[in-house]
Amino acid sequence: MILVAYGRQVDCAYVFGEDVGFGGVFRCTTGLSDRFGKQRVFNTPLCEQGIVGFAIGLAAMGNRAIAEIQFADYIFPAFDQIVNEAAKFRYRSGNQFNCGGLTIRAPYGAVGHGGHYHSQSPEAFFCHVPGIKVVIPRSPQQAKGLLLSSIRDPNPVVFFEPKWLYRLAVEEVPENDYMLPLSEAEVIREGSDITLVGWGAQLSVMEQACVEAEKDGISCELIDLKTLIPWDKEKIESSVNKTGRLLVSHEAPITGGFGAEISASITERCFLRLEAPVARVCGLDTPFPLVFEPFYLPTKNKILDAIKSTVNYYSSYDKSSPVHQHTLLEKNHLWIYAFNALDRRVA
């Protein structure tokens, strides 16, 4: 649908990948080959490094190369092409060459029974690579606008699609051509007690937690980051300056996940404003497990617990504990808290 909208207008767009000619394993490219011809929409050999290398060449010649990697779990053979080639194409040539027309689409994330190799969320690896953008939509409508922007963006983009939503998400998608800005986060639910930041499929889990928290009188602000690199730090910062608390959630393992980057940056910018440590509710530091998937995932209740403990951080502080007394004295934490509280009242 999205690709149809794009293909209709541009004759230099090419869509290819494993089984893409038949419509792709998730049916994303169904009918495209009949509509735009086999020269524009085609199957590739099972060779991810080849797919991305080919796409870079095509893009470097001024085309829009839309390459599909069948599962994000299988993007790693293409890592060299993405990291050492696509990401540095412009920089290494002093902008004589670029492969900005490149968009790599790949389904990511849990699906209920995917085990190690059909469930991973590898976005953090790509966020560590200057020169590419990383975009993750949360819904079909978002997917269309963000994908069109990614395709037209003059930089290579890695576009991860939440495969959980391929079958579940139903949403009215406008027929017309529209673009949603990259690097612009969106507040999808306003609130005053805590800011929640996420992307992709995780947002619907976070939203459920926000609804539950509201029943307990906690007002949550939920933000869809949409573009992970370069990300909209300002929007998160201003939200945290309002709420004084931050929670980040993603399916990828917590250690070295993109939540760590957000946490560090916001701590730098809002240190005096924060009323509790930044909370991260993420996947665990194990390979994505099959039987244990329900245990591994950052579920609604894990998020809800973290919302509550973050909001109640000071009231749950056990002042009689010698360790905590020590901490309070050492860091003068109480004073900071007092100032923050005062600050909020004044504001």
Quick check: 178 binds another protein (CB under 8 A)?
no
CA 155 to CA 41: how far, in whole Å? 22
Quick check: 294 binds another protein (CB under 8 A)?
yes
Quick check: 308 binds another protein (CB under 8 A)?
no
* Least distance (Å) between residue 260 CB and another protein: 13
* Least distance (Å) between residue 25 CB and another protein: 7
Among the listed residues 59, 90, 67, the one whose alpha carbon sits nearest the alpha carbon of residue 15: 67
DSSP code per residue over 202-268: HHHHHHHHHHHHHHTT--EEEEE--EEET--HHHHHHHHHHHS-EEEEEEEESTTSHHHHHHHHHHH
Q: How far is CA 143 from CA 2, 49, 257, 308, 315, in A?
A: 8, 25, 23, 32, 41
**Do 110 and 288 meet the contact criterion of CB atoms below 8 Å apart?**
yes
Residue 141 or 204: the one with the smaller Cβ distance to another protein is 204
Quick check: 313 binds another protein (CB under 8 A)?
no
* Least distance (Å) between residue 318 CB and another protein: 17
Q: How far is CA 309 from CA 116, 276, 316, in A?
A: 32, 9, 8
Among 84, 301, 316, 325, binds another protein (CB under 8 A): 301
Quick check: 326 binds another protein (CB under 8 A)?
no
Mask of contacts with another protein, 41-60, x by CB under 8 A?
----xxx-------------
The verdict on whether 324 is a catalytic residue reads: no
CA dihedral 98, 101, 107, 108 (to 10 degrees): 40
Residues in region 62-121 near another protein by CB under 8 A: 73-74, 77, 113-118
Residue 23 or 140: the one with the smaller Cβ distance to another protein is 23
User: Nearest-5° angle of CA 63, CA 200, CA 65?
Assistant: 10
Quick check: 169 binds another protein (CB under 8 A)?
no
Among 285, 316, 321, 324, binds another protein (CB under 8 A): 285
Sign of torsion, CA 74 80 81 82? positive
Residue 18 or 221: the one with the smaller Cβ distance to another protein is 18
* Least distance (Å) between residue 189 CB and another protein: 22
Tokens (6 digits) for 265 = 């940056």
Residues in region 146-165 near another protein by CB under 8 A: none
Quick check: 255 binds another protein (CB under 8 A)?
yes
* Least distance (Å) between residue 129 CB and another protein: 21
CA 58 to CA 291: how far, in whole Å? 42
CA 273 to CA 193: how far, in whole Å? 13
Of 18, 118, 207, 261, the active-site residue reads 118
Burial class (CB in 10 A: 0-12, 13-18, 19+), 172: exposed
Residue 147 or 282: the one with the smaller Cβ distance to another protein is 282
Of 18, 48, 161, 275, the active-site residue reads 48
The verdict on whether 184 is a catalytic residue reads: no
Active site (catalytic) residues = 48, 118
Q: Which residues bind another protein (CB under 8 A)?
A: 19, 22, 25, 45-47, 73-74, 77, 113-118, 254-255, 284-287, 289-292, 294-296, 299-302, 305
